Structure 1
Amino acid sequence: MKKTGSIIICICELLVGILLLINPVGFTTTIIIAVGIVLILTGIGSLISYFRTEPVYAARSQNLAKGLISIVAGLFCAFRSRWFIAVFPLLTMLYGVAILLTGIAKIQWAVDMLRLKMSKWFLAAIGAALSILFAAVILMNPFNSTTFLWTFVAVSLIVEAALDAIALLLSRSRAHSDLY
């Protein structure tokens, strides 16, 4: 089950990378607006829950405040999505940190595969090394333009997803053959 979730994550990374290559600003704007709509709907749900709940329980749940904050955040995302595009370099740094942490987690995966004597452990190690390398490049931000940075992020997502999927599939086939 865990590997199925990992494969789904690889597919999502691949899809996001491709969409970022095709139209980075449009894709990102659409995602931000979609998140805004979800936040607004969640906020409305919290407000409804607050007013439908007994006052004693409603006071503990804080759903009124949660709902209002969610609606305000959702409205900001939906109507000020370009703000996120303007602060893309900061968001990219956060992405770089996330990729670095993912790379460190992939080291664990590679070492586990090695210790379990799986023959293709080096694919996971390559994926970990690439994740850490991509994170380092993103965090150092040597790019002259935001467009090149978008392209680099997209390509790094695609490469990581492909390597992770290959390593997952090979480790799955190896684990399956070990059972029989």
Structure 2
Amino acid sequence: MEGLVKKIKGIRNEMIGLSIVLMLAGIFMILFPNTSGNIICRGVGAVLCIWGVVRLVAYFRNNEILGSFGLVQGVALAGFGLYILIRPGIIEVFLTTVFAIIIIVDGILKLQYALDFRKLDAGGWWIEAVCAAVMIILGIVVLFNPFATVAAVMLFIGVVFVFEGAWDLASILYISKIAKEFNK
């Protein structure tokens, strides 16, 4: 039981960290809507390059054979990362779609939380349901991108990310509270 409690606390702390990162990313997008997409693409490209090099080093260092795809993974990751670094504008076009999918999936996850709260007879479950609906609608808005410029969509996504991160943080704290009450 102690191991389970430790694992749950670890997951909670990880989710808190992700919520904070989401809010910081949103603030960054709000402050720099004209350049945030390009910077995010370059950051993803750099991470992919590093990941690819790590896979290549691991492949050659460990003398992996038969069934190992370390060489292919390393070359593919580094190559794709390098391509993104060289031509971030091409990937930036898809960035809003990726963000929209993230927002919609998070909204569906929030809907699951709301339904779980309802099953537990937790008060305020409907607040989570309303937030889930709002997130799904905002994600759909981003997906269909009615904005005139990339800067406008980045600003909108930034606001959504700040809201989403703050709401996730509040939800995590509420879930922790319910779990403590449930265990008593």
- TM bin, normalised by shorter chain, reads 0.7 to 0.9
Deviation at 1:113, TM superposition (A): 0.5
What's the TM-score once normalised by structure 2's chain length?
0.81
| 2:60 matched residue in structure 1 | 51
Match of 1:95 in 2: 99
User: Are 1:153 and 2:157 an aligned pair?
Assistant: yes
Task: Map 1:103-142 onto structure 2 (within 5 A).
Answer: 103-142=107-146
Q: Hey, what does 1:22 align to over in structure 2?
A: 31
Q: Contact conserved, 1:92 with 1:138, CA < 8 A, in 2?
A: yes
In structure 1, which of residues 2, 5, 11 is the aligned counterpart of residue 20 of structure 2?
Answer: 11
CA change 1:62–1:163 in 2 (3 A) is closer
Structure 1, unpaired ranges of 5+: none
After superposition, the C-alpha distances for 1:60-118 in whole angstroms (9 at most, x for unaligned) are: 31322222222211211222223333x2xx32123222322221221111011011011
Q: Residues 37 and 95 of structure 2 are in contact (CA less than 8 Å); yes or no, is this contact kept in structure 1?
A: no
Q: Does 1:78 align with 2:85?
A: yes
Name the CA shift for 1:51/1:172 in 2 (closer, same or farther; >3 Å): closer
Q: CA deviation at 1:42?
A: 2.8
Fraction of identical pairs, as percent: 29
- What whole-Å deviation, never above 9, does each CA across 1:145-173 have from its counterpart, x for those lacking one? 22221111111111122222223212322
How many residues are paired up? 175
Q: CA RMSD in A?
A: 2.2
Equivalents in 1 of 2:50, 2:115: separation in Å?
A: 43
Given the two structures, how large is their TM-score scaled by the length of structure 1? 0.82
Q: Which amino acid aligns with 1:137?
A: V
Sort the Cα spacing of 1:75 and 1:112 in 2 relative to 1 into closer, same or farther, 3 A: same
Displacement over 4 Å in runs of 4+: none
Q: 1:111 to 1:20 in 2, by over 3 A?
A: same
| Pairwise CA distance, 1:59 | 4.3
